[in-house]
Amino acid sequence: MLDRQSPHLMAITELLEDALAEPSIGQTERFVWHATPVGIAALWTDGKPPAPPPFDNALEEGLQMGLDLSREEREFHLISQGLVLLFHS
- pLDDT attached to residue 44: 98
pLDDT band for position 9 (50/70/90)?
Answer: low
Task: Report the Cα 71 to chain-centroid distance in Å.
Answer: 15
pLDDT band for position 7 (50/70/90)?
Answer: low
Check whether the bond before 52 is cis (ω within 30° of 0): yes
Q: Are 16 and 4 in contact (CB under 8 A)?
A: no
Q: Is the pLDDT of residue 65 over 80?
A: yes
Q: Are 18 and 82 in contact (CB under 8 A)?
A: no
pLDDT band for position 83 (50/70/90)?
Answer: very high
Span 20-39, pLDDT tens digits: 999 999 999 999 999 999 99
